[in-house]
């Protein structure tokens, strides 16, 4: 990939070690997982357009399906370009269905104080591999760029299912004509670079799709934003966690 080759020149990089669950570090955080609803829009190919190899697209070298360790290794290589943001750069989480299971299990131990229950839940989740790095957030302050990466759970190998890139090309310093012109030029340059790297959109004027199934990999471009996503990978991960959490719920040993 062109982008990967560019970044390989920046190997004198940020040396960041990511100790597992370093909760005392401001760059780490543990939060509740978001709701698992999967909402997709209908997509279709443009007339005479071919499908795109969106699964092979990268944003700053980051591709769908890369596992967390591979992304971390890449970040250390391109550290002169992107770095971990200062606060909550890595988000660890537990799928809400599993967290409900663990909450029940901890309460069965007689715990009632919320902080003790939370400690119990986190401890069980870590020991059973149910806590995972769900988000990684990178920034490039001098250019106003950021990359937000979402990962599936350990049930599906903790891999990338979404990459959102943002920059400041759509920002405008004022309402004077010169600022309007500057914004227009920034937006034009952004789109030119996008087209050079990914080719023409094959769905509407702003989407690259790998099929007409919206659960397959696709990418959407906005003003200064690229959204590379695999809804199917996320949906599969959600379904597996829901089913496995139900199958492994530790109910009381009722006898009748």
Query: Taking the chain (256 residues) in consecutive chunks of 10 residues, what is each chunk's mean pLDDT?
Result: 37 34 62 66 92 97 96 80 90 97 96 96 96 96 94 98 93 84 88 96 96 96 95 97 96 90
Q: Distance between CA 248 and CA 254 in Å, rounded?
A: 16
Q: What is the pLDDT, as a whole number, of residue 6?
A: 35
- Is residue 102 one of the residues assigned to a domain? no
Contacts 24+ apart (CB under 8 A), 187-192: 187/223, 187/224, 190/223, 190/224, 191/221
Q: Distance between CA 138 and CA 71 in Å, rounded?
A: 11
Q: What is the pLDDT, as a whole number, of residue 253?
A: 87
Q: What is the pLDDT, as a whole number, of residue 139?
A: 94
Instruction: Report the domain count for the chain.
Output: 1
- Is residue 29 one of the residues assigned to a domain? yes
- Is residue 231 one of the residues assigned to a domain? yes
Q: What is the pLDDT, as a whole number, of residue 187?
A: 87
Q: What is the pLDDT, as a whole number, of residue 165?
A: 97
- Is residue 170 one of the residues assigned to a domain? yes
- Is residue 120 one of the residues assigned to a domain? no
pTM (predicted TM-score)? 0.85
- Is residue 247 one of the residues assigned to a domain? no
- Is residue 45 one of the residues assigned to a domain? yes
Q: Distance between CA 95 and CA 15 in Å, rounded?
A: 30
- Is residue 65 one of the residues assigned to a domain? yes
Domain of residue 16 covers 2-95+130-242
Q: Distance between CA 54 and CA 78 in Å, rounded?
A: 23
């Amino acid at each position: 990939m062109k982008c990967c080759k560019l970044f390989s020149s920046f190997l004198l990089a940020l040396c960041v070690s990511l100790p597992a669950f370093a909760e005392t570090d401001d760059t780490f955080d543990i939060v509740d997982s978001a709701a698992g609803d999967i909402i997709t829009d209908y997509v279709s190919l443009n007339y005479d357009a071919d499908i795109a190899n969106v699964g092979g697209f990268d944003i700053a070298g980051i591709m769908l399906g890369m596992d967390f360790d591979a992304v971390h290794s890449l970040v250390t290589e391109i550290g002169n370009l992107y770095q971990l943001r200062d606060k909550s750069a890595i988000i660890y989480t537990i799928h809400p269905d599993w967290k409900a299971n663990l909450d029940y299990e901890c309460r069965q131990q007689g715990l009632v104080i919320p902080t003790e229950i939370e400690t119990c839940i986190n401890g069980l989740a870590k020991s059973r591999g149910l806590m995972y790095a769900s988000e990684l957030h990178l920034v490039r302050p001098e250019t106003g760029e950021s990359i937000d990466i979402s990962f599936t759970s350990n049930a599906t190998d903790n891999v990338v299912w979404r990459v959102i890139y943002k920059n400041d090309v759509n920002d405008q310093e004022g309402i004077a004509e010169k600022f309007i012109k500057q914004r227009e030029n920034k937006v034009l340059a952004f789109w030119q670079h996008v087209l050079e790297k990914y080719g023409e959109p094959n769905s509407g004027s702003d989407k690259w799709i790998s099929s007409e199934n919206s659960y397959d990999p696709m990418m959407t471009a906005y003003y200064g934003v690229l959204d590379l996503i695999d809804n199917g990978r996320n949906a599969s991960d959600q379904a597996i966690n829901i089913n496995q959490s139900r199958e492994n719920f530790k109910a009381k040993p009722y006898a009748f």
